């Protein structure tokens, strides 16, 4: 399977939806918006497309501090280059592949925020060239679900709907091909087997990098950051 259901989103999806749409409405001229960046300095565009190495985009932009989006990022600490990807009506991406790192597969988390029955991830056996035939697989991902997608080989995304935009939150990681085949729980979420057994270099749990250093007494202590209550701040800055 190129795409499979990882889990149902166990945070506040309506809050997440509202946060993403509010942010999206401030950046209508762009279709790729970065949740994490190199410095966490609210550069929302530097990690879009093929700009830089994905592993460099690990710092949460300060705009998202104290949000449901932040809690989502913290729940999958081994993933990086978190983005909001928007596919406008009647548009498609080029057929491409993300397996450029030799010996590694590219796995991506996809969390559909806004979608429709005419939006698909489409996987090809090979790049289209001239005439011919090949097997094509397509998946219609649903909101409130978190999917894991192997984007190493040729694929694209399409939105055939005439009026509705498709919006996904996407993050990625590279996993050695041998490890990906031999590990059942390779999604990298809290407590996943791959984080405990991997011999590859891993980012440490990024709780402190995202939330700040814990105090000795934390009234909201939880193993799952998505269970921590959201407390809006009066000084939340708009950018």
Burial class (CB in 10 A: 0-12, 13-18, 19+), 176: middle
C-alpha to C-alpha distance for 204 and 185, rounded to whole angstroms:
18
3-210: CATH topology is Jelly Rolls (2.60.120)
Q: Is there a contact between 33 and 83 (Cβ–Cβ < 8 Å)?
A: yes
Q: Is there a contact between 185 and 40 (Cβ–Cβ < 8 Å)?
A: no
Could you count the other beta carbons within 10 Å of the beta carbon of residue 138?
Answer: 14
Looking at residue 127, its pLDDT comes to 86
Residue for token digits 């000084």? Answer: 235
Looking at residue 85, its pLDDT comes to 97
Looking at residue 238, its pLDDT comes to 36
Q: 3-state class of 173 per DSSP?
A: strand
Torsion-angle region of 36 (φ positive above 0: left; ψ -120 to 50: alpha; else: beta): beta
Looking at residue 100, its pLDDT comes to 72
Residue for token digits 């993300």? Answer: 98
The CA-to-CA distance between both ends of the chain, in Å, stands at 40
Q: Is there a contact between 186 and 107 (Cβ–Cβ < 8 Å)?
A: yes
pLDDT tens across 146-178, in order? 999 999 999 999 999 999 999 999 999 999 888
Taking the whole predicted model, whether its pTM rises above 0.85 is answered as no
Burial class (CB in 10 A: 0-12, 13-18, 19+), 38: middle
Orientation angle between helical segments 68-75 and 13-25, nearest 10 degrees:
110
* Residues of the chain below pLDDT 70: 1, 50-51, 99, 180-239
């Amino acid at each position: 399977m190129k795409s499979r259901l990882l889990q149902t989103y166990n945070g506040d999806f309506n809050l997440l939806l509202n946060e993403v749409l509010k942010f999206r409405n401030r950046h209508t001229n762009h279709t790729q918006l970065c949740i994490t960046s190199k410095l966490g300095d609210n550069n929302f565009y530097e990690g879009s497309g093929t700009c830089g190495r994905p592993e460099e985009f690990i710092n949460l932009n300060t705009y998202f501090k104290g949000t449901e989006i932040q809690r989502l990022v913290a729940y999958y600490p081994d993933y990086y280059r978190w983005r909001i990807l928007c596919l406008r009506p009647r548009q498609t991406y080029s057929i491409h592949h993300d397996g450029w790192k030799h010996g590694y597969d590219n796995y991506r988390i996809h969390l559909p925020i806004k979608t429709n029955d005419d939006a698909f991830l489409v996987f090809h056996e090979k790049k289209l060239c001239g005439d011919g035939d090949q097997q094509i697989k397509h998946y219609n991902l649903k909101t409130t679900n978190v999917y894991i997608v192997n984007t190493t080989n040729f694929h694209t995304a399409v939105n055939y709907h005439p009026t509705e935009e498709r919006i996904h939150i996407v993050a990625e990681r590279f996993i050695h091909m041998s490890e990906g085949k031999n590990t059942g729980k390779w999604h990298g979420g809290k407590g996943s087997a791959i984080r405990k057994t991997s011999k590859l270099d891993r980012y440490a749990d990024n709780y402190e990098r995202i939330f700040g250093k814990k105090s000795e007494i934390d009234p909201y202590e939880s193993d799952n950051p998505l269970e921590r209550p959201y407390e809006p701040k009066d000084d939340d800055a708009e950018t």
